[in-house]
């Protein structure tokens, strides 16, 4: 018996040793993968931190410019060339900006290119440096805002130049800049990110031939805030990221290119973040792992030798524990710890919930793309906590369904009125919340689809999901399931609609309707906006809301776009009118559509009567692609309008960088402007700032005389809506 036990014990020890070795090997490999993943995360953090630092700095410059350009005394002093008065009026703004750490230099430049006033050096004026500073010359020529990194008389800076107008009279330029050190300070504040500047070595030697700098390839360090940058390997390339260890500390080092207004490289900023704590933590985990493995081996050897049976019982106990953990993982969400969709689907028939409420975060994909997945996960967790707090007083159980969706199960039976009030109250409370995620204030809006049912065998989850999809489709916050929704029928209809659209394309059953855009003061038509319609088999007219989304999903949308473009150019040749057409970001990114537009513009010579309307919320943040398209069509005299401004990610900062001509204010702000003071204030701000930037404004959805009069009072330039004209074929 002892021999059998000893053999069994020895065999078990060898087996355990192999298992521990395999476990240690796999754990070390997992640790290696974790380190690589964290390294990539730090790379992304450095990249996004740099972008955020630049955007924060630009935001400060824009805020200072807005404060100064809305001060009538200051603008009047500039117009009257009263240097002392201008200095007295402007210095408080600069001092406040200096105290906030948002700007370093402010200067006024006459429209002839001569410096009128430097606030930091008021005795120096009258010089013309437009040849040395092409950025100033371009701003004087275009009378548009330019934001760029540039070399000033004082430093490498982020420079923002604003045109100064009074009553549409161009007075000159306001130049505001923040030294590159501001961006470096922000990087340090965001997470101890160290930084240095590297300049092209050949160019640097022309300015400073006798000065020695630390060189890395074609670049030389000109400033740094940590000696680390002097100790990088000589072979360090600014084109690649680097994991570097120095003096027992580990860093992630990356380089970003700072470009001028014409996209030429000015200087490179090198950023480094200390990840030594992560490295130490990983090493400590490995040591613990090895120590624990050794102790386990010794312990198991002793236990096996003195009680093989007890070990078997222990293994069985551990197996039961693992089963429970696996079961927990099967029915619970790993991020929030909430029960998951599988748990809900099993709980619904057991607990017989009286109702289900589904919540979905609006535009979460855009948030994830903007802030990154790490911030996205924190937003999801914060929303889950907020829902739990808001619903604590209700008999509700919270579940995490998938991605950005949550579910609430109602444990008690209530009346329909009470249920509706409860759902809307929860939604209202959640919409009033703001979330601070790593210093970023995030507003989250949600859509809710609900179903309440007192009958047996109700598909609560499925019907609530139908209601939620309807809410998202209609762009409203709250929808309760009812048979009239016919969501399943909509899915089936998509197939028939796809065939209907394809047949209409093949049979050329599309037409254009035109709606006038009127001068506000005279009510005369300034232009016609082209709106596509489909003719059904029976001759009835089908509006675009019925078929455009399905056309996009079925990849038939480009055919419709091409029809609209061809038809507009026919009208431009036949009539003297001005026309506008809508382009989505998909149209702009489509090479075939681009080439078609460029070819027609080149051959027709009618571009000066064509306006392209770009939807502000559909990826307009893709500056390079959109800007390239705008630059190309403007060569032919075309104008650009930003459509639906005031929703989504409305931002004057990126609108100013796109060289547009019109701002079309979204209907959601206009339709109640005669009774809504908040809408009046927002529209007034948009109109005022647009006029200061020499942009014209258009109010959409003007449906009554009261709305028209309010838009006219607020100074809107053009009016579009049923009050003055409806979409109709052009006679």
Residues 574 and 677 in one domain: yes
Helix (H) or strand (E) holding 385: helix 373-390
Per-residue model confidence as pLDDT tens digits over 13-38:
787 678 777 766 777 777 667 766 77
CATH number of domain containing 114: 3.30.450.20
Who's near 260: CB < 8 A, 6+ residues apart?
A: 135, 148, 149, 150, 266
Answer with the one of 456, 485, 514 that is the final residue of a domain: 485
701: left (phi > 0), else alpha (psi -120 to 50), else beta? left
Note whether residue 184 is domain-resident.
no
380 is a domain residue: yes
Find the domain containing 228 and state its range: 193-274
* Residues in the chain, overall count: 731
State the helix-helix crossing angle for 308-331 and 2-69, rounded to 10 degrees.
30
Q: Are 645 and 632 part of one and the same domain?
A: yes
Residue 219 tokens read as 């670049």
Burial class (CB in 10 A: 0-12, 13-18, 19+), 321: exposed
Q: In this structure, is residue 187 part of a structural domain? A: no
Q: Are residues 260 and 316 in the same domain?
A: no
Say if residues 567 and 517 touch (Cβ distance below 8 Å). Answer: no
Residue 677 within a domain: yes
Q: List the alpha helices (DSSP H) in 70-82.
A: 72-79
pTM for the full predicted model: 0.41
Report yes or no: 633 and 641 within 8 Å, Cβ to Cβ: no
Q: Which of the 8 DSSP states describes residue 228?
A: G
Query: Cβ–Cβ contacts within 10 Å for residue 524, how many?
Result: 9
User: Residue 728 falls within a domain, yes or no?
Assistant: no
Cα angle 456-452-360, degrees, rounded to a multiple of 5:
125
In whole angstroms, give the CA distance from residue 467 to residue 453: 14
Q: Which of 354, 342, 338 is nearest to 422 (CA)?
A: 354
Residue 316 three-state SS: helix
Same domain, 296 and 207: no
Q: What is the CATH number of the domain that holds 405?
A: 3.30.70.270
DSSP 636: T
The answer to whether residue 336 is domain-embedded is: no
Is residue 450 domain-shared with residue 325, that is, in the same domain? no
**pLDDT for res 487:** 47
Q: Are 580 and 644 found together in one domain?
A: yes
Task: Write a three-state SS string for 109-163.
Answer: EECCCEEEEECCCCCCCCCECCCCCHHHHHHHHHCCCEEEEEECCCCEEEEEEEE
Q: Are residue 327 and residue 468 in the same domain, yes or no?
A: no
CB atoms within 10 A of CB 108: 25
38 and 74 co-located in one domain: yes
Strands 265-274 and 194-200 come out as antiparallel
Residue 308, CB-side half-sphere exposure with 13 Å CA sphere: 15
Nearest partner of 255 among 265, 272, 269, judged by Cα? 269
Domain boundary among 274, 291, 308: 274
Q: Which of 289, 418, 204 is nearest to 213 (CA)?
A: 204
pLDDT attached to residue 275? 80
Indicate whether 665 belongs to any domain: yes
- Pairwise CA distance, residues 670 & 651, whole Å: 18
Q: State the pLDDT at residue 649.
A: 44
How many C-beta atoms lie closer than 10 Å to residue 575's C-beta?
A: 12
Q: Phi then psi for 482, rounded to 5 degrees?
A: -150, 155
Q: Which residue reads 């429970």 in tokens?
A: 324
pLDDT along the chain (731 residues), means of 10: 67 75 73 70 76 87 92 92 93 92 92 91 88 88 90 77 92 92 81 77 64 72 75 68 73 80 78 77 76 78 67 61 78 91 83 86 80 87 93 92 90 86 90 85 87 78 86 83 58 73 91 96 95 90 86 87 95 95 89 94 94 71 80 95 70 72 90 90 91 93 95 96 92 67
Can you read off the two tokens belonging to residue 291? 């120590």
Number of structural domains, the chain? 4
Instruction: Judge whether 38 lies within some domain.
Output: yes
Looking at the structure, do residues 285 and 350 belong to the same domain, yes or no? no
Q: According to the model, what pLDDT value does residue 483 have? A: 55
Query: Strand 115-118 to strand 610-615: parallel, antiparallel, or no bridges (unpaired)?
Result: unpaired
Choose the final residue of a domain: 230, 255, 274. Answer: 274
Domain of residue 592, CATH code: 3.20.20.450
Shared-domain flag, residues 284 and 142: yes
**Is residue 588 domain-shared with residue 631, that is, in the same domain?**
yes
Question: Do both 400 and 431 map to the same domain?
Answer: yes
CA distance 44 to 290: 32
């Amino acid at each position: 018996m002892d021999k059998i036990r000893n053999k069994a014990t020895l065999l078990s020890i060898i087996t355990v040793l192999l298992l521990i070795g395999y476990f240690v090997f796999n754990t070390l490999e997992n640790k290696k993968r974790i380190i690589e993943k964290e390294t990539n995360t730090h790379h992304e953090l450095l990249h996004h931190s740099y972008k955020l630092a630049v955007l924060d700095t630009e935001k400060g410059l824009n805020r200072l410019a807005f404060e100064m350009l809305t001060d009538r005394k200051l603008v009047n002093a500039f117009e009257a060339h009263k240097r002392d008065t201008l200095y007295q009026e402007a210095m408080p703004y600069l001092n406040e900006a200096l105290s906030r750490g948002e700007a370093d230099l402010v200067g006024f430049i006459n429209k002839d290119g001569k410096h009128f006033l430097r606030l930091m050096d008021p005795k120096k004026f009258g010089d013309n440096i437009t040849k040395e500073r092409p950025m100033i010359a371009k701003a004087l020529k275009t009378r548009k805002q330019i934001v760029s990194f540039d070399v000033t008389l004082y430093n490498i800076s982020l420079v923002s130049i604003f045109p100064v107008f009074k009553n549409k009279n161009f007075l000159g330029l306001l130049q505001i800049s923040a030294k590159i050190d501001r961006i470096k300070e922000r990087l340090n504040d965001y997470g101890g990110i160290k930084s240095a500047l590297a300049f092209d070595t050949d160019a640097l030697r022309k300015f400073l031939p006798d000065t020695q700098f630390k060189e890395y390839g074609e670049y030389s360090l000109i400033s740094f805030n940590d000696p680390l940058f002097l100790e990088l390997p000589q072979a360090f390339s600014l084109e690649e990221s680097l994991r570097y260890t120095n003096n027992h500390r580990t860093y992630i080092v990356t380089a970003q290119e700072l470009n001028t207004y014409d996209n030429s490289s000015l200087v490179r900023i090198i950023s480094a973040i200390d990840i030594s704590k992560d490295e130490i933590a990983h090493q400590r985990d490995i040591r613990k792992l090895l120590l624990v493995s050794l102790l386990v081996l010794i312990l198991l050897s002793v236990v096996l030798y003195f009680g093989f049976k007890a070990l078997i019982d222990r293994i069985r106990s551990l197996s039961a524990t693992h089963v429970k953990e696996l079961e927990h993982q099967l029915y619970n969400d790993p991020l929030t710890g909430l029960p998951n969709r599988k748990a809900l689907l099993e709980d619904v028939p057991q607990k017989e919930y009286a109702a289900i409420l589904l919540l979905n975060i609006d535009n979460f994909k855009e948030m994830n793309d903007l802030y990154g997945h790490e911030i996205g996960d924190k937003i999801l967790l914060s929303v889950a906590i907020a829902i739990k707090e808001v619903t604590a007083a209700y008999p509700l159980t919270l579940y995490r369904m998938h991605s950005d969706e949550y579910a609430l199960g109602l444990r008690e039976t209530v009346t329909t009125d009470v249920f509706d009030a409860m759902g809307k109250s929860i939604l209202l409370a959640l919409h009033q919340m703001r979330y601070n995620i790593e210093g970023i204030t995030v507003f989250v809006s949600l859509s809710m689809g609900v179903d309440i049912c007192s009958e047996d065998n109700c598909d609560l989850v499925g019907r609530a999901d139908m209601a939620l999809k309807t809410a998202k489709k209609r762009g409203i916050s709250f929808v309760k399931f009812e048979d009239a929704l016919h969501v399943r029928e909509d899915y089936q209809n998509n197939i028939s609609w796809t065939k209907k659209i394809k047949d209409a394309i093949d049979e050329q059953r599309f037409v254009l309707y035109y709606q006038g855009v009127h001068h506000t003061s005279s009510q005369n038509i300034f232009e016609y906006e082209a709106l596509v319609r489909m003719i059904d088999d029976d001759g009835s007219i089908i509006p675009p809301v019925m078929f455009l989304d399905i056309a996009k999903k079925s990849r038939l949308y480009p055919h419709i776009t091409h029809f609209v473009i061809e038809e507009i150019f026919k009208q431009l040749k036949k009539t003297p009118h001005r026309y506008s057409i809508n382009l989505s970001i998909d149209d702009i990114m489509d090479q075939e559509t681009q080439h078609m537009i460029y070819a027609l513009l080149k051959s027709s010579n009618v571009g000066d009567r064509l306006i392209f309307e770009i939807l502000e919320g559909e990826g307009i943040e893709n500056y390079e692609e959109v800007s390239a398209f705008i630059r190309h069509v403007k060569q032919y005299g075309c104008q650009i309008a930003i459509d639906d401004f005031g929703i989504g990610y409305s931002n004057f900062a990126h609108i100013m960088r796109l060289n547009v001509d019109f701002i079309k204010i979204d209907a959601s702000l206009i339709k109640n402007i005669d009774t809504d003071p908040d809408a009046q204030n927002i529209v007034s701000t948009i109109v005022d700032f647009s006029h200061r930037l020499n942009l014209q404004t258009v109010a959409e959805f003007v449906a009554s005389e009261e709305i028209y009069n309010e838009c006219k009072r607020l100074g809107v330039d053009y009016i579009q809506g049923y009050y003055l004209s409806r979409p109709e074929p052009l006679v």
